[in-house]
Structure 1
């Protein structure tokens, strides 16, 4: 009610008669959707749930604000924000709300149909297709997928030139449904485990008979003991009640309890019977109806290694989405930040699952700000950057910068009263960088002629959110065949190739300018701007790396080998969780966003520089791992003891 009153007051001087404006194209789809076919024009009386994302204030200063709380030399290092400060700092200006609202009213939309979200970031209006097409100077079509699913979309849309600067994006418009894909692969069987399981289960690979750790064979079978030796991990958590570590999974991916026990029986006996703490987001549940690698491999991998490494620290499982419509990244982001979620606004109904959606699926209230985020969060899923429009990806990336890379907004978010005062804490967010080298999911690249993803495409395809500058992107390495666990690793070239490259959407952050500039000047002359963003002003990834080959994982009662940055992310995140434990035990705060620190020269000795290997894709050998940072393995793999001591010395 309060938001509606604010909006009505701002519209006091607006005219009711339709007006004529000069329009400019605001968004255009960059690549046509795979497998979707335009079947018919949208019915004129179809009711479109239009949401207008308003331009937020102070985003130009986001990087500076982030550095202020992330750099130890800053007087604001580690300072917590209040929820009021967060909303006040980034809420759209009164002018923005006023200008966009007046445009809608002057175009003939009755003012009582407009609703402003609680954080004032979105204006919602339900309008017929005829009204929306006139407003946005576009045409909507119904697109059909071979599965029978339908959705509406337009190829581009326009807004009046005088309001364009006040609008981030409008949904539903050019976006297309595309669920994040897991970054776990089985030997010889490619990309499996997509949360929506579009391709069904794959046949089981040959099981292996290894049951105990064997440091002599770490080049063939990676176990917990191999990782401990490889990275010098010698630490037992002590502040377990005050520390927290979360793994995000998307239904129908679900761990199997008996598989955890099989793994623990052989490698961590005292964990037999242990389970992660389940936090259900929008009906997130452990499902046992569908089993096999496609449905259990990712979650089993993440939890077996995360729980095994940080034992006795408890691991939180953020299980996201029900079995009917699944989830997107925005679904779990909504659950940890109510101001991002917003009531009746925020997500794209054509891109993000809508909750609640009625029986037989989840029918409870949408999960808005209901979960206190763990200090460390690992996600082994990713999109192709090109799957998303620039504005959609940018708004989501900003959320990582505002919330996770700084102290985080937590607690219960009221939808009927004014916002509660919420606590804030620092978090580190880790994403897998991708498993197809410079190519995208499914080993596809963009065809420059059609703008579509194509197995024969030649344009490098960065991943998302791994390419967002406010997360830590984790690439993959391997112990070379025939080599000892004590020998230097190389970039992963078994089954998968470490995802890496340069974003087409995001600018390079200050913290990596020096090292990326050095790489570009010496190592990319064989490629041109027609293949990747070689401007020198693009966010580069990954930031770091960890082993991603030959993981022994219990699945369906047997052991299999699993490959991918899907393994690298939770392993690296586990080490940061242990570092947080040490700091909390000392009476200090969690490390939060680590990128500004690890890119500094002070932290150089805390990483094993990976100098061999490539990440092929798009008909090329991709980039090369080399001395210093590179877009294959980032800064390198961790030397845990050095990393621990350096972080312990920070205030």
Structure 2
């Protein structure tokens, strides 16, 4: 037996209670080593880079699965080990790289040479069964990537990026914010319509249309968009109707374009709306006018140890027809996710991208302190999955693994930084955010009442709506969806962005990162008209 995963201590916020009941049943997921994740990444970049002859020639479901299917030797070795312990596992992913098994604690202790214990998350009084280390036999070493949840201590409730960008001054308090609507560069590729003064403190769909040159005419309906919500979030049809009636009367009839799917016991008929889901559905419907929108509500009936994120991505990969855009405004602190699990989840997003899906994640509201500004930290805290190298991170700071598309942009920024924040972040990792958008004062109807909402969870659905409109225009011209956005963004798309050069994102007892000319670890803004022109040019 060899140690496969180990952590040195119980993370802050959790308390040890004692050894777990030996008869308690554990729902464990096994990740097998995928056959060729390196070639999957290469294929993803090949179809996503506008300089490639295969740009936007996305792969089929079968082609993508071929990269993730475990080698026969791996399947044989893991099944033999399970059979030795009279354990039967079921396949839960289309490529067969994820298995699920239900076993009592006593058997898990014996199989993994460990001791599972019970811990409580003090803030929510939620108990979990975990271990600080476990081992696997030599016979499955190199065949088994991870067993989950074993050593991961993820907060029971997914943190939401919905409150307020605490690292920015509040609009209307006499200070300037880095994302105010008037903060645009002096020279723009296209004429910008004057922005109404009210947009400085209150954002509506009309404000976004003006700021980003978004056409008010309905899309042709050729593209689509999916919004993932977690933690029992739900948006009611009555609130959507009231929102459109007040802020987009010309699009009131497009509420019928919204459909709801439930996963893991998620809500699909609640009469009580929540802020996050209401924000997502109201602004995607109002901005991506006439684009079919699917709201996927992921409930608490999941056992993947990461709030249903694995369940959602595996459910999507099963489908023959994927959403062209997927936006998620939820996330975790990256250090709470075991490296092997994070890697496998990121590879799943790479599979979506290779098949033509643009995957967007809000990057958190805590500046360099991660998901929320109130977190204690001595070094900067990246968020996850917004740090995955195969997703587009919307509006936030800091760093984490893989940079492929970013070398030129990030190296220049690091030179400007010099010794600022040295030792507080991973300077050789995947830098983020990739893009930013308006994120304060969004007017949302929740249970019949209009209330302001701010945070990166406002920015991500805004960008998702713009990408959906881009896809609609491109498909109308006979083209294919943009898919994984970052290679285009860093190669050519940045020339259409508004460069915000003032502001910073404090946290962890520091001022965080400063905004500068060009890419920075704080903000870039967007302009949809210029993107349409650029993306169309790359296909001619």
The TM-score range, normalised by the shorter chain, is: 0.7 to 0.9
Q: Name the Cα RMSD after superposition.
A: 2.8
Q: Deviations 1:574-630 (Å, cap 9, x if unpaired)?
A: 111111111111111111111101101x33321111111001111110001111111
Aligned partners of 1:27, 1:540: CA distance in 2, in Å? 26
Aligned partners of 2:90, 2:245: CA distance in 1, in Å? 55
1:626-637 equivalent positions in 2, closer than 5 A:
626-633=516-523, 636-637=524-525
1:318-467 equivalent positions in 2, closer than 5 A:
318-321=296-299, 327-338=307-318, 369=319, 372-402=321-351, 404-407=352-355, 426-445=356-375, 455=376, 457-467=377-387
Aligned partners of 1:51, 1:286: CA distance in 2, in Å? 27
Segments of 5+ residues of structure 1 without an aligned counterpart are: 1-20, 191-212, 339-368, 408-425, 446-454, 476-498
User: How much has 1:124 moved relative to structure 2?
Assistant: 5.0
Partner of 1:239: 220
Aligned partners of 1:42 and 1:140 also within 8 Å: yes
Q: 2:250 aligns with which of 249, 254, 270?
A: 270
Segments of 5+ residues of structure 2 without an aligned counterpart are: 169-193
Aligned partners of 2:420, 2:166: CA distance in 1, in Å? 30
Partner of 1:533: 426
Aligned partners of 1:589, 1:606: CA distance in 2, in Å? 20
User: How much has 1:302 moved relative to structure 2?
Assistant: 1.6
Q: Deviations 1:135-167 (Å, cap 9, x if unpaired)?
A: 322211122345554321101112245643222
In structure 2, do the counterparts of structure 1 residues 130 and 68 end up closer, same or farther at CA, with 3 Å as the change threshold?
A: same
Q: Deviations 1:258-316 (Å, cap 9, x if unpaired)?
A: 3323322222113336242222323332454655xxxx111221222211112132322
In structure 2, do the counterparts of structure 1 residues 131 and 164 end up closer, same or farther at CA, with 3 Å as the change threshold?
A: same
In structure 2, do the counterparts of structure 1 residues 380 and 244 end up closer, same or farther at CA, with 3 Å as the change threshold?
A: same
In structure 2, do the counterparts of structure 1 residues 557 and 142 end up closer, same or farther at CA, with 3 Å as the change threshold?
A: same
Aligned partners of 1:214, 1:555: CA distance in 2, in Å? 26
- Number of matched residues? 507
Partner of 1:612: 502
1:175-190 equivalent positions in 2, closer than 5 A:
175-178=152-155, 179-185=157-163
In structure 2, do the counterparts of structure 1 residues 41 and 568 end up closer, same or farther at CA, with 3 Å as the change threshold?
A: same
Aligned partners of 2:260 and 2:268 also within 8 Å: no
Aligned partners of 1:40, 1:372: CA distance in 2, in Å? 47
2:265 pairs with 1:283:
yes
Q: Deviations 1:65-85 (Å, cap 9, x if unpaired)?
A: 111111233233223433333
Of residues 83-92 and 562-571 in structure 1, the stretch that sits farther from structure 2 once superposed is 83-92
Aligned partners of 1:52, 1:312: CA distance in 2, in Å? 41
Aligned partners of 1:103, 1:646: CA distance in 2, in Å? 53
Aligned partners of 1:324, 1:26: CA distance in 2, in Å? 24
User: How much has 1:114 moved relative to structure 2?
Assistant: 5.6
Aligned partners of 2:158, 2:166: CA distance in 1, in Å? 22
User: How much has 1:237 moved relative to structure 2?
Assistant: 4.0
Aligned partners of 1:221, 1:113: CA distance in 2, in Å? 56
2:159 pairs with 1:159:
no
In structure 2, do the counterparts of structure 1 residues 586 and 251 end up closer, same or farther at CA, with 3 Å as the change threshold?
A: same
Q: 1:255 aligns with which of 223, 235, 242?
A: 235
Q: 1:516 aligns with which of 390, 403, 410?
A: 410
Aligned partners of 1:113, 1:218: CA distance in 2, in Å? 58
Residue 518 of structure 2 aligns to a residue whose secondary structure is: coil
2:408 pairs with 1:507:
no
Aligned partners of 1:236 and 1:312 also within 8 Å: no
User: How much has 1:183 moved relative to structure 2?
Assistant: 1.1
Aligned partners of 1:104, 1:627: CA distance in 2, in Å? 56
User: How much has 1:33 moved relative to structure 2?
Assistant: 3.9
TM-score normalised per structure 1: 0.72
Residue 429 of structure 1 aligns to a residue whose secondary structure is: strand
In structure 2, do the counterparts of structure 1 residues 401 and 131 end up closer, same or farther at CA, with 3 Å as the change threshold?
A: same
Aligned partners of 2:154 and 2:337 also within 8 Å: no
Aligned partners of 1:524 and 1:623 also within 8 Å: no
Aligned partners of 1:640, 1:50: CA distance in 2, in Å? 44
User: How much has 1:116 moved relative to structure 2?
Assistant: 5.8
Partner of 1:139: 115
Aligned partners of 1:613 and 1:625 also within 8 Å: yes
User: How much has 1:387 moved relative to structure 2?
Assistant: 2.1
In structure 2, do the counterparts of structure 1 residues 231 and 80 end up closer, same or farther at CA, with 3 Å as the change threshold?
A: closer
TM-score normalised per structure 2: 0.86
In structure 2, do the counterparts of structure 1 residues 128 and 268 end up closer, same or farther at CA, with 3 Å as the change threshold?
A: closer
Residue 239 of structure 1 aligns to a residue whose secondary structure is: coil
Aligned partners of 1:128, 1:319: CA distance in 2, in Å? 30
Aligned partners of 1:88, 1:187: CA distance in 2, in Å? 42
Aligned partners of 1:133, 1:270: CA distance in 2, in Å? 61
